[in-house]
Structure 1
């Protein structure tokens, strides 16, 4: 993607600066039209999912231009199924985390590594060391992650969150207007993303 200021929200830029970024994105979309279809740009390896139908494309970051020449959109697009799974996981994780003491939380968050040396004895990288997971009485003898998996199954069955398709504006983005798009599809594809963009642009009033 083109370089951008990490600390200054896109909406605070002058119209001239924003139009320049829109033109740059349009050119990028045009250059990548053979891969992305010509309506949006995505860094994702789209061809991988075309060649491997068993790999489910359920989430991506995409960029597309608005109807106003000074607007572009920086969007997370996600399927309802993956959004459901994410919400369930977050609930289970937060519940389990809150049940631990501060010391136990620190222990669970701690990572152990061993240094890797080159032939001159200089550290060039580190390897993560697998630690034996601790079982907790408060989790009924399960480890932290075993309890989370248990709670995920229970929440999905007994307390399923309601997830629907739609759009959510995400303020403060440095590159473009932030947006979350939730689509009711088994998997993402270029046609699915194009349809979502088309529907969104029909409904939204582009920001001046």
Structure 2
């Protein structure tokens, strides 16, 4: 396995497919159907915000996305949303804005971690977390933060095992039908 501090060129489609698979439940109603959501992410992926793991054949094994220069995995603005979804972008703007996160200056904001099904159980996720934590330390950051949705208790349990601590909960309220979950828990890890 090789770790890359940025997504290597040419792996955008694979990264988009991995990200979509991992976050379809959270983003599917807003950015689907599947093929459209994957195309949107492939066209708007922010390589600088992706730590990638590849196999000996160059195949993408997993990614850890974080904010870089104020953008996460996807660097799409309003114009890109309109380009991909036409006038349908209008109703997507508010729910997507609710999902946006920013972190204090001393904190790295995670934007998702995904491991290919074929690479699970091979230590890819652990290697990605280690690389992400090293990246944060190298930037002089003292914390890592993320949000985990209530419909993903396995992820929350993993984050707790890694040392993340819940610091707050945000509910989706009337947007629940569009988002597919009731609440998101903010979790912080002190490095």
TM range (shorter): under 0.3
TM-score by length of 1: 0.24
Structure number with greater CO (CA < 8 Å, separation at least 6) is 1
Q: TM-score, normalised by structure 2?
A: 0.25
